Structure 1
Amino acid sequence: MQTVYTLLALFIGLVVPLQAAVNNQLRAFIGGSPLLAALVSFSVGIVTLLLMSLATGQKMSGLMGLAKVQPWMLVGGVLGAIFVFGTTLIAPKLGAASMLALIIGGQVCAGLLFDRFGWLGMPLRDLSWPRLLGAALVIMGVLLVNFGDRLLGSSS
């Protein structure tokens, strides 16, 4: 099952630039607003998730538990909206590779902290040297993707 989750994570990573590009094209057709493009994207996402929930037999009565959640537990939707809006705004400004390198660098750094401290119930994982070296290599990749031409004196 671990392989399935690994491949799913890779697939999600592969479609993020596609999502940014699609939302950028949508933005162009709805008046140039990245905020409205994100709104449309999220609206389509809501319908998709509803249909997937119905198709897989999810018990909608589980949503009654929403009355008991603490407000901070709903922040995931806000963060998702910021992500979709942000990628729609930033992709045409920085390019897909630069934007994604920065996002991935931030995700790896934050992920190490969540693993190390078990924030919000995440399982604890040590900050081993191989993991820290991997993060350092990701950061080096972020710098090369974004500033490599200037750092290495080459031009495109």
Structure 2
Amino acid sequence: MKSLLTLIAFTAGAATSAQAAINAQLGRRFLHPMQAALASFTIGTLACLVICLTMRLAWPSLARLASVPWWLWLGGLLGTCYVLTSIIVTQRIGVAAMLALVIAGQMAMSVLIDHYGWFQVTPRALTLLRTIGAVMVIGGVALMMLKTRID
């Protein structure tokens, strides 16, 4: 099971690279990057709707939706920030540099979220090995960025 989850996560990461490149090209064809982000999210929303309908999933009641803490709705907003940023930044510095910076940000935030148990995740202590791993990832990002010119 762990191997399958590892493969799925790796594949999602690869898809993120393709997404950044595709969305950057989409952004070149619209009048504003926000329009490209809207187009991307519209297709994604329609895909989710088709999957939910195909699986015949029950819809939550309004009372259940009303009981959701406000901050849980921020995921969509953060996704919009990511897609819009990738559309703008990828065009200027390339896919690898943009995603290297995204990975550095993800690594920094993820160790804090894990360590402190933010957003109700199960806390996972920031051990020496996890710290070394995070520093190595961020160090790799720094190496990727050495020759990248940001206009």
TM-score computed with the length of structure 2 as normaliser? 0.91
Q: How does 1:84-123 map to 2 (within 5 A)?
A: 84-123=83-122
Could you tell me which residue of structure 2 aligns to residue 25 of structure 1? 25
Aligned-pair CA distance for 1:35: 0.9
Give the aligned residue type for 1:42: F
In the alignment, the residues of structure 1 paired with residue 39 and residue 132 of structure 2 have an alpha-carbon distance, to the nearest angstrom, of 40
Cα displacement (A) at 1:20: 1.2
Q: What's the offset of the Cα at 1:2? A: 2.4
Once the two structures are overlaid, the 10-residue window that deviates more, 39-48 or 63-72, is: 63-72
Aligned length: 148
Q: Which of structure 1's runs of 4+ aligned residues deviate more than 3 A?
A: none
Query: C-alpha displacement at 1:3, in angstroms?
Result: 2.2
Question: Are the structure 2 counterparts of residues 148 and 131 from structure 1 closer, same or farther at C-alpha, using a change threshold of 3 Å?
Answer: farther
**Which amino acid letter does the alignment assign opposite residue 13 of structure 2?**
G
Deviation at 1:149, TM superposition (A): 7.6
Q: Distance in 1 between matches of 2:121 and 2:85?
A: 25
Correspondence list, 1:46-65, <5 A: 46-60=45-59, 62=60, 64=62, 65=64
**Other-structure match for 1:153:** none
Could you tell me how far apart the structure 1 residues matched to 2:83 and 2:42 are? 12
Deviations 1:66-124 (A, max 9, x none): 22223222111100000111101110111111111111011111111111111111111
Partner of residue 13, structure 2: 13
Q: In structure 2, what is the Cα distance between the partners aligned to 1:82 and 1:36?
A: 13
Query: Structure 1-normalised TM-score?
Result: 0.88
Match of 1:138 in 2: 137
Q: Percent of pairs identical after alignment?
A: 36
Structure 2: gaps spanning 5 or more residues: none
Deviates more, 1:141-150 or 1:128-137: 141-150
| Structure 1, gaps ≥5 residues long | 151-156
Q: CA RMSD in A?
A: 1.7
CA contact (8 A) 2:111 2:126 kept: yes
Higher relative contact order (CA 8 A, sep 6+): 2
The letter for the 2-side match of 1:139 is: I
